[in-house]
Structure formats: structure tokens, C-alpha cells
A and B are shown apart, each in its own frame.
Chain A
Amino acid sequence: MQASRDIVISNALGLHARPAMQFVDLANQFRSNITVHKPANNAEPAVDVDGKSVMQMITLEATQGTTLRIEATGDDATIAIEQLAGLVDDKFGEEQ
């Protein structure tokens, strides 16, 4: 099963260490493979990283306003995407 969703990072500080950790912790609870895709822009090529690796997620340098696509492949793909997108939309619990 496959599922994917586009999300926008809306936190002021972007996807910094703490939200990246939260994303990764949540992603690791699912059996599906999780990939996060950052589209190409200006002079930078597109990037694909493993959503279960905090090391890789950090290198996305996803600042506020960045659009990312989360893709999941596996038997719990749908719920994985839902919960991960929910976390992002919730601004990772930061701010009011």
C-alpha cells in the first residue's frame, strides 16, 4: 500500500532539531518505509531522505514555508501519512 501527502512546514524555526526528532520518533512507530521529498528550487536539486533517520531529516534544512512530500510504503501507509501530516500541521506542538 502506498500513500503520500504534501505538507508545509509552518513553524517559525522550521524543521529544527526538536521537531525533526518528533517526526522521526513518530515515523519509527510504523512498519512502512517513510520517505520525505523536498522539491528542487533555485540552484538546489531535489532531495529524498529516510523519514526514520533524524540525521537525514535534519539535512533537509526545511525552514519555515518549505513544502515537503511525505511518502509511505507498507501495510500501515495510510495511517502513517495521516499522523505524520497531522504532526506537521499541528506545528509540532510549538507556538499558540
Chain B
Amino acid sequence: MEIIKGIGVSPGVVICHAVVLDAEDLIIPRRTVDVIDVDAELLRLQNAIARARADLDVLRNDLTTTHGKDIASIFDFHVGLLKDKTLTTQIVNEIKGNRSNAEYAVSVAMKKLAGTFLAMKDTYLSDRVKDVYDIEKRILRTLIGAKHEGLAHLTQDVVVIAHDLLPSQTAALDKTHVKGFACDVGGRTSHTAIVARAMAIPAVVGLGNVTSAIAGGDIVIIDGTRGMVIVDPDPEQLIEHQEYVRQHARFEAELATLAHLPPITTDGHAVLLMANIEFPAEIDDALARGAEGIGLYRTEFLYMASEVEPTEEDHYVAYAEAVRRLGDKPLVIRTLDLGADKYVYGKGPSKEANPFLGDRSIRMCLHNLPMFKAQLRAILRASVAGDIRIMFPMISTIMELRQAKLVLNDVMEELEDENVPFKRNLPVGMMVEVPAAALMANNFAREVAFFSIGTNDLIQYTLAVDRTNEKVAGLFTPAHPAVLALIRDVIRAANRQGISVSVCGEMAGEPIYTLLLLGLGLSNFSMNGPDVPEVKKIIRSTTTEHARQVARKVLSFDSERQVSHYLREETRKIIPEAF
């Protein structure tokens, strides 16, 4: 039994047999062989290794001829590993000792070896783990041969465990039988996360080395809500999780019935619930769950997914597609919010000591006008087809905001000169996430059409906490009174100026904060699609007066613990099933 923690990127819990993928979709069949067949397995192993070595020799000779000795010497290491008695002895012992089939024995030994490499401090050496994966694939291909089972034809429900999932692999999946994903790498915006949310199945990524902890056939619990994977659970854990799965399914079904009911408080106050997306493909699911627009389209993936900087056309295609799926519902596009450390395009990233506080996001865009303008042009061109709004991230000074608006104006003039149609009066807003902007919200409110409070970063900057640093992640919380005071003031400033304000950070989708935000005067929420039904349920079960009372009470506390505790209690009264 092993518990591995990662990032939950698609909620829900599933208990299933696992299928472990290598990068070439080979499923590693695990069988026990009869005692009389052990020698035959050993012979299979021997032949496969000999074959792999022969292939490598041929490859090496070919490469030496075409590219010279240095390139070909890459394979020397592979040959060396294949010749290494320590390694082959391990595989042989697995076959003899556990009567495993050759495929399983090879994969177990290789995973252990890979683990050793990954643990190395020297990155050059730990990178050599790729050679280990390569050799593993080479031997396995020979062993498994033509009869390998693909994921397109599954006969039972499984969860898929992989290092990472490529679009080509997810596209080929038998979706009726795949019930969950777990990956070594990745984050909220990785492809696996997107697909899992679209398929509405649990997924956990960023698990580190889960592929070496699980063998095909193992029973695995994937808990996408709490962000963990349990391998070979004990009977008690199994029972606890099965019960949780049942309850969760009941709750989900109930929430699904809310999808098309309006988000209105019992005293008639209407609220706008929107969704956050990374890809146009997520829009359909968000709408199905009741979102009435997209409050945050994170455009970073256009940059991260590609090896070259996206062109204006690349941007345009994505935005046009998004607008098409939304019809006349609002689409708020946030301009590039990355640091240069996140994507490279051929040049090495210049190492900033503190990229989080560095040349990123709007700052970087203002230093890279051609890149910035390409995105702006595409957004403007797409604006004719629907209700597009644009917002600038990480704004920290008024000058910055004015500069960005000037650049946008320049782009508009260019398009006009070229007779390219666009909406001149498209709403231009900003993210309020840097404390400087929050503290000067009154000034900023006069210069934009709307605010969107980015609570994730606002909290990090205000509390000086890196939420990805496990040592201090516990200090990260929206419930801190300082954060709440800032949010209250930003909402007030917006209302005073008559501009709209939304919260688009994770706080917007966390049910315990709904009453509070509503009570502070917030009417626009933008969250992950799956969170919409629960938030809507709370909205529909309360009055604005009650929400205001809750907010007043909360603002009188001076500790985040009091705040969380109180909010949890008040929310529990409305939706007990969620707790």
C-alpha cells in the first residue's frame, strides 16, 4: 500500500485496475508463469536482449556512417547497459524468483534503474534516465511484438497511468472504459488535465514517479478531489473510498439537475457564474454545467504547447473557435501571463533569481511589442464574432495600464488602416492581483471597464507565500483577514465607479467562500466548470441579506482560522451533503 500525493486536476474518486502506459502505448502484461515454463521465459528474455543488442549495433554502424562517431556513441551507453551483468541478473532473478513473465520482469528492473537515475542530483546524469526508458522500450517491443494491445480496445474499466499523456494518445482512447488518469508530470494546464475535465473523470498529475510504483493490473484509487493516488489499498481504505465514491456520485447527480436553473438568490438577486478555461474545447463542458460565459480564458497554453512562438493566425484560430462555441455569451480573454522561464523558443531562458517578481506577464509583453501586438490583433479580429472582452494581467502601476491601452489603440489603428473589421468598443479591463493595484483600486477603477480579482496571486503576494512550496503552503489561504479587506475594498471601488468586478481565482469556486463574496457585493464569479453547480446551489439557497450578515461577521474576525471555521459552519447549514 502506497499513498502518492500530486495535483488533483479533475475532481472525483475512482477505484479501478490500472493500465500502465509507456510512451509508445505498450501495455505491459503481467503474468505468472508455471514453474515448468520459467526456462522458456529465460530463453525469451535472452533472445530479446540479444536482438536488442543486434539492432543497436546496426543502428550504431548506420549512424557512424551518416553522422560520425560522436552521435553514434550515444548508443554505446545503451549497449553497455544491455551487457551489464548486474542488470540482467536482476531481471533473471525476477523471473526465477517470482515466476514473472519476461515483460514484467524487464519493466520492474528498468523502473528500479530509472528510479536510481532520477534520484541523482546531477541533472546531466539524471537526464540519462531517458536512455533507460529507451532500452526498456526496445526490449519490450521485441518481447511483446506484434500482438500488443492498444488502449483503443479495452474490455474492462481501467485507469490509465502514464508519465504524461500526449494528445495523440488521448485521442485514441476507448473512452467508455477509461475511468481516471494519473501522470508523473503535469499541472492544471496540462493536456491530461484538460481531457480529464472534459471527460469528467478524476485525474491527478505531478505525482513524480507514479509509473514506477504501479504495475499493470494493480488496484489503484485515484482521488482527483484530494489530489492523491493510493496503490494497492488496504481493505479499510477500499471500503472508505467506495463509500465516498457512492456519496459523491449521488451529489453529482443532484447538482447536474441544477445546470439550467438560473443563479438567483431567494430574494431575486441575479448573479453571473462563468468558467475559467485554458482551451476552447473546455467550453462545451462548462456550458453544460451551467456556466453562462467564460470569465477567464488563460491564453498561456498557446505559448506552452508549441515549439515556436504562436503566430497571429494561431491565436486567431483559437479565439475564433472559442467565440463560436459561446455564441453571444461573454468571453474574457487574458493576455499572456507567463514569465519567459516557461517557454523557450530556441534561446536559453535568462535565469532570473526571482521570476515570480520578475519580467513576466504584462511587463514582458510591453518589452516585446511584436509578440504582444500579434495576440492583440488576433483578439480584435475575433471580436466581431461575439462578446469578447480583454484584460491585462499583473498590472501594478497606472502608467503600465495606460501603456497597454496605448498599444491596444495602436493595434486598432493598424487594423483600421488595413480595413480589417473589429469591435472598437470592446470592453478593456484588468486583473487586480498585485496588492499595489488592490490598494489603489479607486484610481484604477476610473481607467478600465471592469476588474477581475485574481485571488490566487493576490493571496501569494499579500501574504508573501509561495503556494507551491510545501513548507509554507499551509499559510496560503483566502481566509486571511488582510486578503478579505483587500477584496472588500476592490469590490467597493468598482461599485462606486460603476464598473463590473469578478473574482476569477480558485476562491470563486470554493463553496465556503460563496456566501462571503456574495455578501461583499460580488455579482460575477468565474471558476472551473465543475465547480459551477455547487456554487449555484448555495446562491439559490440564500438571501442577499443573509450573505451580508455573514460578510459583516467575517470582517470582524482577526484570524483566518476563525474565518474558515465560521464560513464552513454557515455553508454546511446550506449544503450539508458537501461536507
Residues of A within 8 A of B (CB): 13-14, 16-18, 20-21, 24-25, 50, 52-56, 58-59, 61, 63
Q: Give the most central of B73, B84, B113: most A CB within 10 Å.
A: B84
A50 interface neighbour in B86, B116, B121, Cβ under 8 Å: B86
- Convert B69-84 into 0s and 1s, putting 1 for each residue whose CB lies closer than 8 angstroms to a CB of A: 0000100110011011
Q: Contacts A16-B124, A61-B120; is A55 near B86 (CB within 8 Å)?
A: yes
* Contact (Cβ within 8 A) A16 B113: no
**B417 interfacial by beta-carbon distance below 8 Å:** no
B87 contacts chain A at the CB level, 8 A cutoff: yes
Contact of A25 among B80, B116, B120, B125 (CB under 8 A): B80
Chain B residues with Cβ below 8 Å from A54 are 77, 80-81, 83-84
Q: B418 to chain A: which residues have CB within 8 Å?
A: none
Nearest 9 Cβ contacts at the A-B interface: A54-B80, A53-B86, A17-B77, A21-B80, A55-B84, A21-B76, A53-B84, A55-B86, A55-B87
| Whole-angstrom distance between the Cβ of B485 and the nearest chain A Cβ | 45
State which of A18, A50, A52 has its C-beta within 8 Å of the C-beta of B73: A18
Whether B116 contacts A59 by the Cβ 8 Å rule is yes
CB neighbours of B87 from chain A (8 A): 53, 55
Q: Indicate if the CB atoms of A24 and B125 lie closer than 8 Å.
A: no
CA distance A7 to B360 in the complex (A): 47
Taking CB atoms, residues of chain A closer than 8 Å to B120 are 59, 61
Given A14-B124, A52-B85, A55-B84: 18 more A-B contacts, CB < 8 Å? A17-B77, A17-B125, A17-B128, A21-B80, A24-B80, A25-B80, A50-B86, A53-B86, A54-B77, A54-B80, A55-B81, A55-B86, A55-B87, A58-B125, A58-B128, A61-B122, A61-B125, A63-B122
Point out the residues of chain B lying under 8 angstroms from A61, CB to CB. Answer: 120-122, 125
Residues of A within 8 A of B116 (CB): 59
What is the 8 Å Cβ interface bit string for chain B, positions 185-206, against chain A (1 contact, 0 not)?
0000000000000000000000
Alpha-carbon separation in the docked complex, A58 to B85 (Å):
14
B131 CB-CB contact with A under 8 Å: yes
Q: Is the CB of A17 within 8 A of B113?
A: no
The verdict on A53 contacting B85 (CB below 8 Å), with A17-B77, A59-B116 known, is yes
Alpha-carbon separation in the docked complex, A20 to B117 (Å): 14
Residues of chain A lying within 8 A (CB to CB) of residue B86? 50, 53, 55-56
Complex Cα distance, B124 from A67, in Å, reads 19
A18-B76 contact in complex given A52-B85, A53-B86, A55-B81, C-beta closer than 8 Å: yes
Q: With both chains docked as a complex, state the minimum distance between the C-beta of B130 and any C-beta of chain A, in angstroms.
A: 11
List the A residue with the shortest CB-CB distance to B86. A53
Is A13 within 8 A of B84, CB to CB?
no
**Which residue, of A16, A52, A54, has the highest number of chain B Cβ atoms within 10 A?**
A54
B132 to chain A, nearest CB (A): 9
Chain B residues with Cβ below 8 Å from A21 are: 76-77, 80
A15 nearest CB neighbor, chain B only? B125
For A25, the closest partner residue in chain B by CB is B80
Residues in A with CB closer than 8 Å to B131 are 17
Do A14 and B76 form a contact, CB below 8 Å, given A52-B85, A53-B85? no
Q: Which residues of chain A come closer than 8 Å to B125, judged between CB atoms?
A: 16-17, 58, 61
Chain B residues within an 8 Å CB radius of A18:
73, 76-77
In the complex the two chains form, what is the Cα distance from A75 to B280 in whole Å? 71
- Annotate B50-83 by CB proximity to A: 1 below 8 A, 0 otherwise: 0000000000000000000000010011001101
Q: Would you list which residues of chain B between 100 and 133 have a CB under 8 Å from chain A?
A: 113, 116-117, 120-122, 124-125, 128, 131
Contact in complex: A55, B113 (CB < 8 Å): yes
A61 to B128, CA, bound (A): 12
B377 to chain A, nearest CB (A): 46
Bound Cα distance from A17 to B75, whole angstroms = 10
